[in-house]
Amino acid sequence: MKSSSIDRVVKDIYGREAGRLVGVVLDLDGSIKSIGVAENGGKFAQYSGERLVRDEGGYIVIPDWKVEASRFNLQKHVIRKREHALEEFATDDDVSTRKLEEVRQQSAELRALHDKVKTKIESRLNELDREVATLEEFVVMAKLQRATAEIDESAYQTMTEYGRVALLTDEKEREELRRAIGFIENVEEAAPTKVSQPQKVAQPQKVTPRKVAERKAEEPPRFIDQPFPVIRMSAAAFKMPDPIQN
């Protein structure tokens, strides 16, 4: 790393300033293991290499939740393949019950890790919701103070422009967070509750006009539109940046 890179501004993928670069830690093979960043207020932060991309302006930091969600996107294929295999092998006498239980336990552990990812994403979304509420209040106060001549036009423009840009940035991340939560929930819904067992074929029952009327009376009302549609997203939404080139 050239010394000219030191003290450059480090930003996140949404354009927010994370701080200024103060150093780089290299791995034994010469790749970037992490970078040190001096945040505003004098705090020090360290970001691992897997959370970094580079452009002509310097380093860009990827949120940790996005890195983990991208990893989840790759793991979901393995989960589904194993669970489908469990379904197929459930009636195969050549596969031991113990081995099936081991694979089922591995799948359950992997899903438990994904629950932690979902919790982290929800926590970040709640944090941004609070930040957006504060920013909206800030912009409203700017308008009020201009109306009462407590601040001049220049101060008003500065306050509202900052609020506008910050709100747009936060909303972009919030939208990605919502899509990530919906994506994880869709995968969770696909999880089988248990290994299927051979099903007995039910004998047809004689249907009488009275039974037909009773069934219709028991049926719940049907709705044309689902009030809470499931958000689905493609794997491309979690496409990771190209590896860092040193």
pLDDT at 176 > cutoff 50: yes
Give the separation between CA 165 and CA 163, rounded to whole angstroms. 6
**Domain coordinates of the chain in residue numbers?**
3-62, 65-197
Q: What is the pLDDT of residue 93?
A: 65
From residue 56, give the alpha-carbon distance in Å to each of 8, 32, 48: 11, 17, 20
Supply the mean pLDDT for the chain. 77
Q: Residues 9, 59: contact at Cβ < 8 Å?
A: no
* Amino acid residing at 21: L
Given the candidates 2.70.98.60, 2.30.30.240, 2.40.160.40, 3.20.20.210, the CATH classification of the domain at 3-62 is 2.30.30.240
pLDDT at 11 > cutoff 70: yes
Diameter of the chain by CA atoms? 87
* Amino acid residing at 128: L
Strands (E), the chain: 9-12, 17-26, 32-38, 44-48, 52-55, 58-61
- Residue 194 — very low, low, confident or very high, per pLDDT cuts 50/70/90? very low
- Residue 220 — very low, low, confident or very high, per pLDDT cuts 50/70/90? very low
Any residues with CB less than 8 A from the CB of 159 and at least 6 apart, and which?
A: 138, 139, 142, 151
